[in-house]
Amino acid sequence: MDNLLGEIIRAEATPVIREEIGDAISSLVQQVVGIAPKALAALELALASSDARVSSRAAEILLKYTMPTADKDRNEDGGNVEINFNLPRAEEDAQEGEAVELQACDVCDVEKPLKDFVDGSTRCTDCHEKLRAQVEERFDLG
């Protein structure tokens, strides 16, 4: 009897719950669509910023949320991923006499200019390369 009662309640409640969830999702989608133009306008301003960090971060966000989807649709066979290291950084374009922001490496504890770190990393490129070489040697990846 309990099982039959549970099945009846489930059968009666399912359409109501499904409709409520559908309405909630539709409302959320409309909100996202409504704020999209403002978000894109802010991203466009950030891309045009004279601050290299701001424009670089805006470009990173744009690529993060647009390119993976495009690549996934085009390349379903799981093709190769290309990673480029030692690309020029915005900090390298700094004018003579400008203040250089320093950061301490979490491995060697030496303060170095931010250009000597991978964006967002707390490890300098020198220490990173040393650790990478050790891993390659230990696991015979070289």
In angstroms, the Cα distances linking 31 to 34, 56, 62, 75 are 5, 28, 20, 32
Element (H, E) at 113: strand 111-113
pLDDT band at residue 71 under the 50/70/90 scheme:
very low
Reported as a single tens digit per residue, the pLDDT across 77-109 is 556 666 666 665 555 555 555 667 888 988 898
pLDDT in tens, 9-25: 777 777 777 777 878 88
- Burial bucket for residue 127 (CB in 10 Å: 0-12, 13-18, 19+): buried
Q: What 3-state class would DSSP assign to 128?
A: helix
- Please tell me the pTM assigned to this model: 0.34
d(CA 118, CA 130): 14
Distance CA 66, CA 43 (A): 13
Give me the pLDDT at residue 85, please: 62
